[in-house]
Amino acid sequence: MAFGRLIPHKPARLMSDINVTPLVDVMLVLLVIFILAAPVMASRLALDLPRADVPDAPAPPHTVRLSRSLGSGWLWDGEAIGPAELARRLTELAQRQPDTELQLLADQRLPYGEVLALMAQAQAAGLARVGFVAQPASAVSKP
C-alpha cells in the first residue's frame, strides 16, 4: 500500500521578491555612523586668521642635562659631580638663570626616590622646569 497524495504535486513557485531585512540592517548601521560622525564634521572651523608681522619666537631657555645610571653618580652635562657640588651648581644656576630647564636622563632601574630627591633639591634651589628625556620605543633594542 502506497501512501501519497492523490492530487498531482505542483512544483513550488519561485520567490522573486527582494529580501529587505539585510538592506534595512545596512541602512540602520549607516544611519548610526552618520549620527556619530555628524558632530565631528560640524565642529571643524575654517578660520581665516589675520596676518601680522611679528618678531621671531624667543630662543629656548638654557638647558642642563643631568644623567645618572644605576651605581654611579650624577653627570652634569657629561661631567661627573658629587652631591655637594650638585647642590652648589643648582643654587648657582637658579640665581643666574631661573628659567633653565633641567633635563633628566635617569636609568630606568634607578630607584624613584633618588630621582624625586633630585627634583626636590632643584625645586628648593629655585628651578621649576624639569623635563624627563626618554629613548623612543622604536630605538629600544630587545634582548
pLDDT digits (tens, 9 = 90+) for 95-135: 998 888 888 888 888 888 888 998 999 999 998 888 887 77
Residue count of the chain, please give it: 143
Please list, in sequence order, all residues whose beta carbon lies within 8 angstroms of the beta carbon of residue 87, skipping any fewer than 6 positions away: 121, 125
Could you give the strand order of the β-sheet that contains 101-106, starting from the edge strand earlier in sequence?
A: 79-80, 75-76, 63-68, 101-106, 129-132
pLDDT value of position 92? 93
Domain ranges for the chain: 63-134
Give the distance between the most distant pair of CA atoms in the chain.
116
Q: Do 100 and 129 touch, CB atoms closer than 8 A?
A: yes
User: Which residues are bridge partners to 66 per DSSP?
Assistant: 76, 104
Q: Which three cell numbers stand for residue 61?
A: 631657555
pLDDT tier for residue 27 given thresholds of 50, 70 and 90 = very high
pLDDT at 106: 84
pLDDT in tens, 35-58: 988 877 766 545 455 566 666 656
Q: Which residue has the cell 622604536?
A: 138
pTM listed for this prediction: 0.53
Architecture of the domain defined by 63-134: 2-Layer Sandwich (3.30)
Pick from 27-41, 68-82, 125-139: least confident: 125-139
